[in-house]
Every structure is written in structure tokens, then in C-alpha cells.
Amino acid sequence: METSRVIHAIYTDDDVLMAAVKKVKAERYHIEEIYTPFPVHGLDKAMGLAPTRLAITAFIYGCIGLIVATLMMNFIMIEDWPQDIGGKPSFSYLENMPAFVPIMFELTVFFAAHLMVITFYLRSKIWPFKKAENPDPRTTDDHFLMEIPVTGDEKKLQDLLFETGAVEVNLVNNTH
């Protein structure tokens, strides 16, 4: 296990946190993570995080669901066990496609939703029975925590964080 030193700066207001993030980024420090009790609008942009590509995977998963639905219904209702339901002939898939549209829609949504949840968990490294990584339980209530790795003059960084409105600054050994 690798041990590194990080500074945890605690804030009590989301607006103060946003201003602090902008100032810390302007001073060219790398912010490792920010823990908040609720989503803070614009924080991802202020941190300089790249936009997510999960929407692209959702579209791909929806297309996979549509293909699976089409192949499944063609095999079941046309090739394997054609049935005369309500006087509709089962000679080809295209003749019966209007009746299959609800199933196609539902399987498209089903595949997109379920595979997106799995992708999100894998991408976020959230496994069943995984120990929580929250460094300070107060961040689930009313505090905000900014985690910055110590790479240079830690006193200068601590002073900067107090300038930005941090109510508490702690030097912590972080184990990865």
C-alpha cells in the first residue's frame, strides 16, 4: 500500500467552497477529491473535470436492447413458433412489427437502464461490501471537504486554504 500526505480543508458553506476551488486551481494546485453533503452545481466545471461519456454508453446500450428485442421477437414469433393471434399472419417480421413496437421500446429502456447502472458502479469502483472512503463523517451532514495532495510547501498551501475560508485544515497520511 502506498502512503501519501494530503491536506483536508473543511468548509461550512458551498459558495465559500466554490470560491476556494477557483482560487486553489488558479494557484495551480491539484484537487484530488471534494466530499459534499449534496450536489454543488458547477463544482465539476470549477475543478476542471472532463465531461462524462456515460450518455454515449447509454445510447449504445439502448441500441443493443433494440437489436436483442428484434432478434428475440423474430425468432420466437416468426421462426420458432409462429401463431395466428387475432387473425394476424406470421409470415414475416415486418408484417407484425407494429405489434412489436411496445416490446422493442421496453427492452431498449431495460437494457439502457440496467447496463448503465452496472457501468456506473464499475466506473465509480463501487463494489458490494466495499468499505466507505469518506474521510470525515461530517461531510454527510453539513460540511464540505477538499482533499489536496501535498507536493511542495505545505505551510504555503495551508495558509492559502485558510485565506479561502476554510474553518479547519488537517494534514493526513492517506493510504491507497
Distance separating alpha carbons of residues 40 and 58, to the nearest angstrom: 24
Shared-domain flag, residues 47 and 59? no
Query: For residue 174, what pLDDT band results from cuts at 50, 70 and 90?
Result: confident
Q: What is the rounded average pLDDT of the residues 145-154?
A: 89
Shared-domain flag, residues 86 and 142? no
Q: What is the rounded average pLDDT of the residues 39-56?
A: 91
Say what the pLDDT of residue 159 is: 92
Say what the pLDDT of residue 2 is: 59
C-alpha distances in Å from residue 88, one per residue of 92, 99, 101: 11, 10, 15
Which one of 83, 104, 123 terminates a domain?
Answer: 123
> Over the Cα atoms of the chain, what is R_g?
26
Instruction: With a cut of 90, say whether residue 4 has pLDDT above it.
Output: no
Shared-domain flag, residues 82 and 28? no
Shared-domain flag, residues 46 and 58? no
Say what the pLDDT of residue 97 is: 84
Shared-domain flag, residues 18 and 78? no
Residue that wins the pLDDT comparison between 125 and 85: 125
Shared-domain flag, residues 143 and 114? no
Which one of 94, 123, 152 terminates a domain?
Answer: 123
Instruction: With a cut of 70, say whether residue 3 has pLDDT above it.
Output: no
Instruction: With a cut of 70, say whether residue 56 has pLDDT above it.
Output: yes
Q: Give me 16's grid cell.
A: 465559500
Which one of 81, 105, 123 terminates a domain?
Answer: 123
Distance separating alpha carbons of residues 80 and 72, to the nearest angstrom: 10
Q: What sign has the CA pseudo-torsion 136, 140, 141, 144?
A: positive
Instruction: With a cut of 90, say whether residue 37 has pLDDT above it.
Output: yes
Q: What is the rounded average pLDDT of the residues 99-103?
A: 90
Shared-domain flag, residues 111 and 157? no
pLDDT tens by residue, 153-164: 888 999 999 999
- Percent helix, strand, coil in the chain, to 5, is 50, 15, 35
Shared-domain flag, residues 101 and 81? yes
89 burial type by CB count under 10 A (0-12 exposed, 13-18 middle, 19+ buried):
exposed
Shared-domain flag, residues 58 and 83? yes
What stretch of H or E contains 51? none
Shared-domain flag, residues 61 and 116? yes
Residue indicated by cell numbers 421500446: 105
Burial pattern 7-37, b for ≥16 Cβ within 10 A else e, equals: bbbbbeebeebbebbeebeeeebebeebbbe
Per the structure, the count of domains in the chain is 2
The domain containing residue 84 runs over which residues?
54-123
Shared-domain flag, residues 105 and 73? yes
Q: What is the rounded average pLDDT of the residues 87-100?
A: 79
CATH number, domain containing residue 150: 3.30.70
Say what the pLDDT of residue 143 is: 94
Shared-domain flag, residues 115 and 58? yes
Instruction: With a cut of 90, say whether residue 12 has pLDDT above it.
Output: yes
